[in-house]
């Protein structure tokens, strides 16, 4: 199988897993959000550390920890992705999947926009139109909502910050994820021990189903991250741009048709503008060779 084909399959699987995460998190029944988050971090750290040891990446991990700049950036990225994880769990538990999917739709556009402002990358007319369409859609949604869509905005902020740190702090994907999970682990481990002293078991409940479900959060966290990290290195940026909307589309379908969240006409208009921006941004690179080259150059920049 060609590398690009395998990369596409890897990314599709990763985005599919992220797309169905609302159903996964809601399957924990009455388990506290804080316990789900704590176990997600702990088991992701344990499993990733095992991979690092097994693949003999210990020296690389030690080198990054000893480097003050890389360690500082790793701490920021750990806090950003940890906050993003919590928001996704919270959105699922509180039935705010539609708003969360809005944030996931906007994030790719914002990342490109940040690239222009921060990294001085060129923004052609096509991308300017796409950004304006996004802004119109978000303003319509915010006006109808009567408040700022905080879940969407915080999801965007946390993932954009995480992406930015990854850009300026290039490290091995497995080692990077492992360090981030291990940096967060002491905080949640203290929380679990404190709760245990107050009569709440480490696994919240003692039944085997809850135990296995909480352990599975580690796999649910690291598998899509690893698949994405592998795939993004072997795929042109045009295809990646299209594939990036798999997860929020699945989330939106689940939110409306499975979890029965309300979907008003203003939601429809908002998502219409977002999809129009996607068409504007990617229709030219899809059919013109110079667009493909442009996006391949952009991919090399962000790596």
pLDDT tens digits along 80-133: 988 998 888 888 778 787 778 777 777 777 777 777 777 666 667 777 787 788
Biggest CA–CA distance in the chain, Å, is: 63
d(CA 98, CA 86): 16
Q: What is the mean pLDDT of the chain?
A: 79
Number of helical H runs and strand E runs in the chain: 14, 0
- C-alpha neighbours within 13 Å on the C-beta side of residue 38: 20
**Cα radius of gyration rounded to whole Å, the chain:** 20
Contacts of 202 (CB under 8 A, 6+ apart): 192, 195, 196
d(CA 81, CA 73): 12
Give this prediction's pTM.
0.74
Tokens of 95: 């039935």
Least confident residue range of 25-34, 102-111, 154-163, 216-225: 102-111
Reported as a pLDDT band with limits 50, 70 and 90, residue 282 is low
Query: How many residues comprise the chain?
Result: 303
Whole-number pLDDT of residue 34? 82
- C-alpha neighbours within 13 Å on the C-beta side of residue 260: 0
The listed range with the strongest mean pLDDT (27-41, 65-79, 93-107, 203-217) is 65-79
Interhelix angle 246-253/3-19, rounded to 10 degrees, is 30
Reported as a pLDDT band with limits 50, 70 and 90, residue 250 is confident
Tokens of 130: 């796409």
């Amino acid at each position: 199988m060609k590398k690009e084909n395998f990369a596409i399959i890897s990314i599709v699987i990763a985005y599919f897993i992220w797309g169905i995460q609302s159903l996964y998190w809601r399957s924990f029944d009455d388990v506290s959000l804080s316990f789900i988050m704590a176990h997600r971090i702990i088991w992701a750290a344990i499993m990733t550390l095992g991979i690092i040891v097994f693949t003999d990446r210990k020296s690389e991990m030690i080198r990054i920890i000893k480097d003050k700049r890389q360690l500082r950036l790793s701490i920021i990225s750990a806090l950003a992705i940890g906050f993003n994880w919590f928001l996704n769990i919270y959105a699922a538990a509180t039935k705010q999947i539609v708003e969360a999917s809005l944030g996931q739709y906007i994030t790719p556009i914002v990342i490109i926009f940040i690239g222009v402002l921060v990294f001085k990358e060129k923004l052609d007319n096509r991308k300017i139109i796409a950004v304006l369409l996004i802004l119109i859609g978000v303003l319509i949604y915010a006006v109808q909502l009567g408040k700022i869509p905080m879940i969407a905005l915080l999801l965007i902020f946390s993932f954009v910050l995480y992406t930015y740190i990854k850009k300026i702090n290039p490290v091995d994907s497995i080692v990077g994820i492992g360090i981030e999970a291990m940096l967060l682990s002491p905080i949640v481990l203290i929380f679990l021990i404190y709760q245990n002293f107050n009569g709440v078991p480490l696994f919240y409940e003692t039944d085997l189903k809850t135990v296995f479900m909480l352990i599975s959060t580690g796999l649910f966290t690291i598998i899509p991250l690893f698949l994405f990290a592998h795939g993004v290195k072997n795929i042109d940026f045009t295809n990646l741009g299209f594939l990036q909307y798999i997860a929020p589309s699945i989330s939106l379908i689940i939110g409306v048709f499975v979890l029965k969240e309300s979907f008003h006409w203003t939601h429809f208009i908002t998502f219409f503008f977002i999809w129009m921006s996607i068409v504007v941004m990617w229709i030219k690179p899809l059919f013109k060779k110079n667009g493909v080259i442009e996006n391949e150059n952009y991919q090399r920049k962000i790596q």
